[in-house]
Structure 1
Amino acid sequence: MAELTAEEKKWVKQMNALLKKCPSKRIGFYTIGDNDIGLYDIDHQDAIDAADRDLVRGLNYTGHGFAETIVFPGPVNGVCG
């Protein structure tokens, strides 16, 4: 497995600490495989799913996506586990 440098490990630790400080439980996250992480209101998940099983299309139909994004310094690949 590849190893991060000490500086990179410090950055990851700081990012995770910052993300834990999110003041809300209603923000959902998604990516379509670019540098941005999209944000949406998971309080409306049922309406989003009912509009379209594809999350992005469902968000477009319902308007429950937030305009703000989290932008990373490199690509965030969207993969299924």
Structure 2
Amino acid sequence: MEIVAVDPRDQQWECGSPSYRVHFHEGTSSDEYEVRGAESVQVVIEWAENDHAGRPYVLYARVDRDGLGLLRLAGREPHEAPLP
């Protein structure tokens, strides 16, 4: 991990109220949800951890820029190799 100081003037856009996508995994299947209007990302994480029977999940921020994209915030896809 590397931490460097930044100049905040280099950013070009910001989204004040993002939507999130949460993918819950169990075996080879998954359930996907979109969360809109959440007070904060912490609220979404709390929901994911408390309401879905301990299934592993991946949390994304939904980004609508040049099409729909997902920015991973937490978790790992089951098919990914573990980190070293």
**Shorter-chain TM-score: what band?**
under 0.3
Q: Greater strand percent: which structure? A: 2
TM-score normalised by structure 1 residue count: 0.25
Larger RCO of the pair (alpha carbons < 8 Å, separation 6+): 1
TM-score normalised by structure 2 residue count: 0.24
